[in-house]
A and B are shown apart, each in its own frame.
Chain A
């Protein structure tokens, strides 16, 4: 071994050591299990998506993604405690739009939207109007025509108030110039049960409802930019003349004490899971659409979505 190579070797290792100690590169992140807090009850859709990520996290990083729950007040209980957790990148929490925008505007819920450091939005479940298979509404036009003739008599079930479903209903009513009635249920499961049991005439649900209850329900339109790959036959609202792109967006946040490089690390970690083709396949099969909004794009994205949500929520009387 000649002198030169020894020098390069030593200098390289010094360089790498420096990098590691300065925290610029932590190639070994995550080096232990990561705690993933879902601020909703086990079994909800936020939990299911986290469960989808779990095995791929294990596969890619060979560490465990440990899921725990902090449900209460539509996520607010968890989010109000996020910043008291350790900002070392080993505690992360799911965040949901529109919840994190609407909740703090309704009342003091212990956090503000800008307190939450979102690092990645990894998917959204598009809103959709769902009817029963044997419903007289064959197209969106049928449904709109009924709503025009009988104001208020078109009854939708949906998950939650001030939620993605509810705001979509408000925005759609405005776009179509109709008046419908929205009945809030606790969770998508109960809203589907109300639809299948004919307690309501239609549901403001998600594409995931169309996927899960295929054969029993029909989607009239989905609130996506282009047709959903899983449902090539279902038109988008956009093609039918309503500029509605909405849904429940899910992402990952870290405590605000997390330094910049940790935020980037977590963002990359979620991106790595998102880039797994099998993961993408599974999520799309369930009716979800993957998104890749990383840490750098996050604040612009939330700001833009907030504008839409706040306008609709004011319209709905959910916030003042």
Chain B
């Protein structure tokens, strides 16, 4: 094993890892430029490199881009990548009250921990873990998406009805365009611009960032509060908080790794699931959504753990775990490299050198991320509002456009943005809408496929309800939905008992 570590530690590889992390972080921090884009754009420059160096660089870009998404989420309330959606929940409130510097440092520490946990799972357990990816069939994906949708309840405790309405609106948006499985074209009202459906990332930018921009213009005062003088990285404080939240970090990293292993789930779900788990486990739930550091820690460790998790099916099975993995897999094919379980046995040299390279890149993210994060924070608080608003507005347009090189995505982004601002006035938050939009497609796909298979085998009930993993997820859904009620009952009983005594 150690010789692979040394192969990964060549000056060239370390340099490429650092360059990749920096490039990825910067690209990922711009709203709309996703990790997938970052990797795709930089693939051609790896063609001239040896395979392992190319892989290390691509992995470093990927992990950097996932971390970089946290900046825009924390400082602008805009998920730079879908993975960072849940980071906005507590990151932005922290920044608002003047703790943006702390939130960025916490995100960096959490990302490093998550990346290391994911990477270690990849290093030690990849071939057996890949079996999990295969055990997940259509019905499991359907139930998992439903589980994700139950998070709406947790996210909109203040007003459940409004949360549900938002979720339904998101589900409706998910139906626009060509259908996930059948390819039928729906709700386009005859317009050809809508056939591609609502693009998730441009919708994210619109729903989260445009309301912030409108508020910035309409309200006096600074974008983010700054209390007192500059406090540097607040590194010690962040370390102390991270140490206190070590269980949260580890739990979220493990959730992130496992969600990452499932092809088609991805960082956004990992972040959301670990966020709700962190909230469930927390002693004081009331702080969540109002700037709880635990929220940022959970999502940021989980989404970086998906990097290592996603490489498990990619390298073992040749089935990409996440969209950026698909691009990396394509690049490997051009390099003439065959992936598969053999890579972990006979051809171990390439794959283990790469995994060590990925771990090194993750470690390098600590200094690089802290430094870039500090500059990003300073830039956002120092820049006058009159400059900040137009430059962010410009970035939202570029970001929405660049996903599919499509101007109609920009219009959809703007329309959803204004809509989101109006809905915010009436107490609707964008998160249920986004959950509906992302999970609706996964749920539909899984449902239609399960139905087709179940109908063919004549066992519809068994297809949906009798598979062990499905049953586990159904149990989790039931528990998640009814636990608050049960908890209330139990508490009531206890109180009654005490009264009796």
Taking beta carbons and an 8 Å cutoff, which residues of A are in contact with B? 37, 41-44, 47-48, 51-52, 54-55, 64, 67-74, 76-77, 80-81, 106-110, 152-153, 155, 160-162, 181, 183-186, 189-190, 192-194, 196-200, 212-216, 282, 285-286, 318
Contact = CB atoms under 8 A, between A and B. Distances in A.
Contacts of A43: 36, 40, 320, 323, 325-330
Contacts of B326: 41-44, 189
13 contacts: A37-B405, A41-B36, A54-B334, A76-B195, A184-B181, A186-B445, A189-B319, A190-B264, A192-B319, A193-B317, A194-B137, A197-B133, A197-B136
B338 interface: yes
A51 B319 CA distance: 18
Interface residues of B, number: 58
B460 to A, nearest CB: 13
A73 B177 contact: yes
B191 to A, nearest CB: 9
A216 B180 contact: no
Please give me the 5 A-B residue pairs with the lowest Cβ-Cβ distance, nearest first.
A43-B326, A72-B196, A110-B192, A197-B134, A181-B456
A123 to B, nearest CB: 14
B136 A42 contact: no
B195 A110 contact: yes
Interface string B40-56: 10011001000000000
Interface in B134-152: 134-138
A73 B196 contact: yes
Interface in B277-310: none
A189 B453 contact: no
Contact of B336 (A73, A196, A282): A282
A250 to B, nearest CB: 14
B280 to A, nearest CB: 30
Nearest to B336: A282
A261 to B, nearest CB: 27
Given A109-B185, A153-B457, A155-B456, 19 more contacts: A37-B405, A42-B40, A43-B320, A51-B333, A51-B334, A70-B405, A72-B406, A108-B192, A109-B195, A152-B456, A161-B181, A189-B318, A189-B319, A189-B326, A190-B264, A190-B319, A193-B263, A193-B313, A193-B319
B406 A107 contact: no
A22 B19 CA distance: 47
A48 B331 CA distance: 7
B47 A55 contact: yes
A69 B40 contact: yes
A197 B137 contact: yes
Interface string B1-27: 000000000000000000000000000
Given A106-B183, A185-B449, A194 B329 contact: no
A285 B183 CA distance: 31
B127 to A, nearest CB: 12
Interface of B: 36-37, 39-40, 43-44, 47, 133-138, 177-178, 180-185, 190, 192-193, 195-197, 199, 263-264, 313, 317-320, 323, 325-331, 333-334, 336, 338, 340, 342, 404-406, 445, 449, 452-453, 456-457
Contacts of A190: 263-264, 319
Nearest to A38: B40
A71 B185 CA distance: 16
A41 B36 CA distance: 10
Contacts of A54: 44, 47, 334
A152 B138 CA distance: 19
Greatest chain A CB density within 10 A among B190, B197, B334 is at B334
B406 A77 contact: yes
B330 A48 contact: yes
A183 B193 CA distance: 28
Contact of A72 (B44, B133, B136, B177): B177
B138 A194 contact: yes
Contacts of A37: 405
A42 B406 CA distance: 15
Given A43-B320, A186-B445, A199-B137, A52 B196 contact: no
Contacts of B329: 43
Contacts of B323: 41-43
B493 to A, nearest CB: 44
B180 A73 contact: no
Contacts of A183: 138, 449, 452-453
A195 to B, nearest CB: 9
A77 B196 contact: yes
Given A72-B197, A285-B336, A199 B138 contact: yes
A203 B73 CA distance: 41
A190 B442 CA distance: 13
Contacts of B177: 72-73
A3 to B, nearest CB: 52
A81 to B, nearest CB: 8
